[in-house]
Structure 1
Amino acid sequence: MRWATFDCFGTLVDWRHGIRTSADLIAPGQGARLLEAYSRHEHAVQAESPALRYRHVLAEALRRACADEKIKLNDDDASVLGTTLPYWPVFPEVAAELSALRAAGWHLALLTNCDRDLIAETRRRLPVPFDAVVTSEDVGAYKPSDAHFEAFRCSYEPTTWVHVAQSYFHDMVPAHRLDIPRVWINRQGERPEDEKIIQQVLPDLGGLLATVENA
């Protein structure tokens, strides 16, 4: 069986758009500032409390972002990211590219830094079915821990496996560490800290099938 595993948020779902527009709901005009501040805090919250549910990670990282930016956050507004996450938009090329993978016989899985309930709601918006999902709630850890990858390997014993993700830090680094073939979806035009970690790189999912089959 051939498996392509994916990170979800940032890779298939527009995580930056979701956070920016959701933050604008509670602090109009400040969404871009809060997105950048949020990005500085999320991993620290996850590292401090690996078993913390993702909706609580979202709330705590937003609280810290607002504190950084001197933006008042009402207590009942801290949950806005967890509330809106199931409605964050899917990138436009996802349907065609994942459909092409399935038509070519690839099985699809999600390895996500998310809770079971939130990813279940998000999956209703994804345009193709997935054959497996491993969440942070399942493994009690957040990537870049190896836990998602090891749990998937143990459960499904893939003979061919390629991991596809946008985050260099959360996904490319552990996939390299575990010697898993990988495709970096470099949507932000980032420069990797270590070029040797990167095997295949695309600016979005366009042309993914050919890239995966050559990984």
Structure 2
Amino acid sequence: MSEKRWVTFDCFGTLVDWRHGIATGIELVAPGKGRELLDVYNRHEPQVQSEHPGMRYSDVLVETLKRAAAEAKLDLVEDQFQVLRAAIPFWPVFPDTQQALRELQEAGWNLALLTNCDRVVIGETQRRLQIQFDAIVTAEDSGAYKPAHNHFEYFEKSLGVTRDRWVHVAQSYFHDMVPAGRLGIARVWINRLDEKDDPSIAHAVRRDLTDLAATVNEVHEKFNG
């Protein structure tokens, strides 16, 4: 078993501004509709992922936008549905991300991504993050999309990680906090959207990544106390 200490992250929504990326991408093909269609898109994506666990994330983006556009009665031509796939490498990193990751590295933590995307997408996104991760698990690797447990189990088994040396950090309550809670993994909820879900599911709740290293250390000590 590994003696390393690990912090795992969801990528989009936690480190990268997923909502901005989706909304501005939609604006390129449907001006004035980005924010309106964002919530519609957000409702459809988990369904597409559940129906097609082996589908690459770049194709999930296309299929989900098609469903969202159909619900909104938005008339787009075929190549316009590629807009999110084309733009995802340029989605902005949250301004607190890089410092938080560097501070964790300086504190001796190994960093990993457990992300609902494919290898090509995360490879392109890493250039924006400008941080070297010690491990990455994509939906393409695990064979399913969160909230299925595959990412967590794949990471644990492939790297020999024990849960007393692991803290998971994520924004999504549905995709990350719920499955990590069911698996008994220490967890920090980054509630960027001020959502009203039950905060007791997490060992700590923060508005953003400010002072994350201190929070992770506190959670780790409490979890193992």
Give the TM-score range, shorter chain: over 0.9
In 2, the alpha carbon distance for the partners of 1:186 and 1:78 equals 30
RMSD, aligned CA: 0.9
Task: Tell me if structure 2 keeps the 8 A contact 1:4–1:108.
Answer: yes
Please state if 1:42 is matched with 2:52: no
Q: Which residue of 1 aligns with 2:132?
A: 129
Alpha-carbon spacing, 1:96–1:195, altered in 2? closer, same or farther (3 Å): closer
Bigger drift between 65-74 and 84-93 goes to 65-74
Counterpart of 1:136 in structure 2: which amino acid? A
In 2, the alpha carbon distance for the partners of 1:74 and 1:205 equals 39
Deviation at 1:158, TM superposition (A): 2.4
In 1, the alpha carbon distance for the partners of 2:7 and 2:90 equals 24
Deviation at 1:163, TM superposition (A): 0.2
Task: Tell me if structure 1 keeps the 8 A contact 2:189–2:204.
Answer: yes
Q: Which runs of 5+ in 1 are unaligned?
A: none
Identity over aligned pairs, percent: 58
Counterpart of 1:184 in structure 2: which amino acid? W
Please state if 1:76 is matched with 2:107: no
In 2, the alpha carbon distance for the partners of 1:38 and 1:52 equals 17
* Structure 2 counterpart SS, 1:201: strand
Task: Tell me if structure 1 keeps the 8 A contact 2:170–2:189.
Answer: yes
* Structure 2 counterpart SS, 1:105: coil
**With structure 1 as the length reference, what TM-score do the two structures score?**
0.97
In the TM superposition, structure 1's runs of 4+ consecutive aligned residues that sit over 3 Å from their partners are none
* Structure 2 counterpart SS, 1:124: helix
Q: Tell me which of 105, 118, 122 is aligned to 1:119.
A: 122
Task: List aligned pairs for 1:93-172, cutoff 5 A.
Answer: 93-159=96-162, 160-172=165-177
Q: How many equivalent residue pairs? A: 214
Q: Which residue of 2 aligns with 1:178?
A: 183
Task: Tell me if structure 2 keeps the 8 A contact 1:8–1:111.
Answer: yes
> Any idea what the Cα deviations from partners look like across 1:117-173, whole Å, max 9, x if unmatched?
010000111031101000000111000010000000011122410000000000001
